[in-house]
Structure 1
Amino acid sequence: MLRKISAYLSLISLVAVTLVPAMTASAAPRNGNQQRHVEKKAAPEFSKTNGSTATVRVLIQTKGTPNANHDGALTRAHGNKRASYDELNTIVADVPLNEVAGLAARSDVLYVAPDRPVKAQMNLTNDTTGVTQVQSGQPGASGVDGKGVTIAIFDSGISANHPDFLTKNKSRVIASVDFSGSKRRGDADGHGTGVAGVAAGSGATSGGYAANYAGVAPGANLVDVRVLDENGIGRTSNVLAAINWMIQNRARYNIRVANLSLSMPVRESFHTDPLCKAVELAVRSGIVVVCSSGNLGRTDVITGYNADGSAIYQMAYGTVGSPGNSPYVITVGATDSHETVRRSDDTVASFSSKGPTHFDHLVKPDIVAPGRRIVAAMSQEVNTTLANEYPARIVQPVSSSAARNVYFNYSGTSFSAPVIAGTVALMLDANKSLTPSLVKAILVKTAQALPNSGSKAQSLFSQGAGLVNAGAAVNFARAVVPNADHLVAGNNVLRANNTLKSFGAMNIGGENVKLSSRVIYADGVLFKNQPVLTDGIMLSDGIMLSDGIMLS
């Protein structure tokens, strides 16, 4: 999905495409006893049934389209057919455990597997970042969903009629403006709707799908700021005009967060880059600006192979684009959750762009978030670019009664950024007085550094402060004084009787995630036991991230 950047420095949508080669199953051996043969046709969970008559739901892969012979075999096995998918040559049935081997042994059956629980990546994203706990509520605190906070999505548009953006038949896309210059309306590309879905989709259409695909802040409002055309391309001037409009209309729509999942090559220092200057002014106006780092974090040179046979590529540093190179924005890289809720096995996605920044040599990204195989809302426009180019990535329901063509499987730092934008909306829902600097400081303070990321320098240039912990960030936001936007240098940041020791570990995916001790200073906040606001403090030891974060 990555598109070439034209000579006039056109903006591109930052989306990485993962191409998964088809797997070919080995043929079963012609010789050997029936038990060995059946074991290869049945999932390992069925290797020891011990004659149990307990009922289990199975997926029976048939040789050819399911037919009456399969139905008869199920009846004789005292089974109950739940569904039949002719296009997939699969039957879903409830059968006694002790009948599985007999069904698997049939010549017209290819394989029998249990109907295992599946979590798609958007659902997984909310679990592994602590968002699920925040939305449902934590001990002593009610849940938050971003209600009352508006996120401006600078992208290819938002399909405002998607059910995931409706509340009581009224769209949460409260305004739409178009600076793209395109003749097509809505989200003809498909990228922007996905970004908006990750940030604030409600998951309302998830019934009949494998998981609930709610976004991070399903109660937040959205403003559709279209700056990219149906091919995901725009110009810097489009974005500048749009940022100008946003600042002018910030109070009217209560825009507190802006998400820019777009980029262009860095050609000068952030001090003079027009796009960097524009986002700086947006931040100074009180808007938290979140940007994707880019998808240029590796070359095509293969340096080795993982245990599963996948290629290991040479990393490419200094690849963060503009405006992600600005120290004023929150720049987000991507992680791979490896289809588990556990954080300990998460890694930085190889495609995720890495620092340092060109010209200014700042460490970027600031933070990382899940960005591989993210399921989110799909544009409802006709003949969208992404759906036409990647039809296999349209998520299919598991129920015949479910709505179709409403979710898409995305990858790229474009979809990591809205995880952070949504998290910011949750933080602002918990404490509306937070400033952009405090938001950034809290996010990096509560992030968790991922292990196995190379040397200290490689780790910093790949993940910044680490993987977002939305639960801890919201807890910290609640503990900040309610008049944070009026703090001056020397004031305590936390409410009375709150210190850093007040924050206990969170349980995410069965693992205790503690508040990081790495970040000791960030964006004007000195994180001693009782954090205080400072006025440009610079400490001599430690590692500086961007121009306002220091790690111990």
Structure 2
Amino acid sequence: MTKLATSLRRAAWVLAGFACLAASSPAWAQETSPSQQTKLDEVVRQAVAEGRSVRAIVRFTDEAARKRGAGMVSHRGGHVRRAFNAVGALCIDVDAATADALAADSGTVSVSIDAQVHSSATGAMWASQSSGADAPRQNLQRGGRSISVAVIDSGVRPHADLPAARIRKFVDFVNGRTAPYDDFGHGTHVAGIVAGSGAASLFLEDPYVGAAPDVDVVALKVLDRTGAGRTSDVLAALEWVAANHTTYNIRVVNLSLGHPVFEPAASDPLVQAAEALARRGIVVVASAGNLGIDWRDGFPGSGGITSPANGPSVIAVGAVDNKGTHARGDDSVPGYSSRGPTRFDLLVKPDLVASAHHVVSLAAPESYLFEKFPGLHVNPQPGAVTQYMTLSGTSMAAPLVAGTAALILDANPRLTAATVRAVLEFTAQQLPDTNLLTQGAGSVNAQGAVRLAGLIKPGTEVGQIWLQSRNG
């Protein structure tokens, strides 16, 4: 592709992002009436064919249909676990016949498996830093102050770099505990990439500082001590954000987790819950997944983007291996990083890539990862208590972008979620010899994104100049 074609394509993305608003149709609406078979995702369809019971999430056209569905489940001996108002759904345990009967009801939109979700991280044995996230802080004096980022993960353990005072709220959807904790260790690491202050490593020439060290964190625990969870718990967390984002000034949500795609985005309840938040103006960032290697031949393959990163309004982030240097010239996308297009919908994903290979961030002592993998510990002071560890994966890429989004909103709080995404994509730097379905718009450029955001004049009428000069 020529440089001109590339420039035109990227300019079109940006103009669309600045000029268009997200669709505002009701979350429950469904224009078409799919057949009974297509209402079942591929996992539920297989279970029904084999006569197996399922734990499913059923979406309905309206409240009357949902009440009718709940009655059907109870009458047939099933169990209603939870209701989700944002996407008009119920989480249920039913036998195969009931799942089939629900699909036959005209008020049912979709029947989806309550899929297991997993973190998008993998171990690594040495550390590096070169995200460029420190440039906006040092050169533009931005840290994300007064903004909260919701980290939907395995929890957060208070740390010298992220003390309890900066964890504005902790909600445990797994065990119901009230004090912040992290028994897996992944969420603490992710939160450190977003918001770590570097307090425990300030003696180093290059401290381990997060992308937006002044933001607050809202920690929503949906993964257990092994890094696994349920889609229904993630839905509950997203619904909690929808109800409480104003109270805690949550402008960005990070989801370093996901599950394989089993149905189109329009019927996937996890995608639809994320899309509902984006319509509220919240920037939703998700890891693209670590399914980049085709298990059949061991080479990078396509179609590995996980849910909810396959959502049209969700910023899907793939991984970059920076080779342990600050220079970008040797950066590349590792094989494990999921490639597009998305299953079923064939959307161009990921949207961006970011540093994610051998990343040092906060450790959670006594957690599963901390105890199980001592080789991942990073201790810059021999003999001292271990404060950091290193992980790799698209789980580490997403929070770097989420933190950068917070910096953008710090620079210009009136920007919409769509504009934040457009700024991130327009300023991204393309990696050489890497295609669109591997890197999206390119590698996140935090400094460029924050500079551009500060020049945008929100609310400018169509046809008017929407960028101000440096002199105003």
TM-score, L = length of structure 2: 0.72
CA-CA distance at 1:299 after TM superposition? 3.2
Change (3 A) 1:19 1:202: closer
CA contact (8 A) 1:182 1:229 kept: no
For residue 379 of structure 1, the aligned residue among 361, 364, 383 is 364
Where in structure 2 are the equivalents of 1:22-61 lying within 5 Å?
A: none
**Does the CA contact (< 8 Å) of 2:123 and 2:390 recur in 1?**
no
Partner residue, 2:138: 136
SS of aligned partner of 2:151:
strand
**Which residue of the other structure, out of 144, 147, 150, is the alignment partner of 2:145?**
147
Residue 462 in 1 paired to residue 462 in 2?
Answer: no
Question: Offset at 1:300?
Answer: 5.0
Could you list the runs of 4 or more consecutive aligned residues of structure 1 that deviate by over 6 angstroms after TM superposition?
Answer: 182-185
For the pair 1:390 / 2:392, whether they are aligned, the reply is no
> Residue 390 of structure 1 aligns to which amino acid in structure 2?
F
| Deviation by residue 1:337-359 (Cα, 9 ceiling, x = unmatched) | 01111111100111100100011
**Correspondence for 1:162 among 155, 159, 163:** 159
Corresponding residue for residue 121 of structure 1 = 128
**Per-residue Cα deviation, 1:179-217 (whole angstroms, up to 9, x for no partner):** 124779710000000000001100100145574001010
When normalised by structure 1's length, the TM-score is 0.62
Higher RCO (CA-CA < 8 Å; seq separation 6+):
2
Question: Any stretches of 5+ residues in structure 1 without a counterpart?
Answer: 1-5, 21-119, 303-312, 454-458, 503-552
Q: Secondary structure at the match of 2:419?
A: helix
Does the alignment pair 1:476 with 2:452? Answer: yes
- The amino acid across from 2:123 in the alignment is V
Partners of 1:351 and 1:492 in 2: how far apart?
Answer: 42
Structure-1 separation of matches of 2:277 and 2:209:
28
Which of 407, 410, 413 aligns to 2:394? It is: 413
Find out whether 1:433 has 2:414 as its counterpart: yes
Tell me how far apart the structure 2 counterparts of residues 255 and 417 of structure 1 sit (CA, whole Å). Answer: 16
Matches within 5 A, 1:86-97: none
Q: CA deviation at 1:393?
A: 0.3
> Which residue pairs with 2:265 in the alignment?
270
Q: Which structure: larger Rg?
A: 1
**Count of matched residue positions in the alignment of Structure 1 and Structure 2:** 360
- Residues of 1 paired with 2:202 and 2:215: CA distance? 21
Change (3 A) 1:362 1:418: same
Q: Which residue of the partner structure matches residue 349 of structure 1?
A: 334
Question: How much does 1:491 deviate?
Answer: 4.7
- The RMSD of aligned alpha carbons is 2.3
1:279 and 2:274 aligned: yes
Q: Is the 8 A contact 1:208 1:397 kept in 2?
A: no
Kept after mapping to 2: 8 A contact 1:325/1:331: yes
* Residues 182 and 230 in structure 1, CA contact (< 8 A), matched pair in contact too: no
Look up the SS of the partner of 1:176 in the other structure. strand
Match for residue 173 of structure 1?
167
Per-residue deviation, 1:438: 0.2
Task: Describe the superposition over 1:23-45 as per-residue Cα deviations: whole angstroms up to 9, x where unpaired.
Answer: xxxxxxxxxxxxxxxxxxxxxxx
Q: Do residues 297 (structure 1) and 273 (structure 2) align? A: no
Other-structure match for 2:232? 237
| Pairing partner for 1:249 from 244, 269, 272 | 244
**Equivalent residue runs for 1:304-343 within 5 Å:** 313-343=298-328
CA deviation string 1:332-377 (max 9, x = no partner): 0000001111111100111100100011000100000000000001
Structure 1 counterpart SS, 2:420: helix
Cα 1:233–1:419 shift into 2, 3 Å: same
- Higher helix proportion, which one? 2
Greater mean alpha carbon deviation, residues 187-196 or residues 177-186: 177-186
Report what 2:120 is aligned to. 14
CA distance in 1, matches of 2:237, 2:250: 13
8 Å CA contact retained: 1:354, 1:365? yes
Structure 1 residue identity aligned to 2:395? S
1:490 Cα offset (Å)? 4.3
User: Residue type matched to 1:270 in 2?
Assistant: A
CA shift in 2, pair 1:379/1:256, >3 Å = same
1:493 and 2:466 aligned: yes
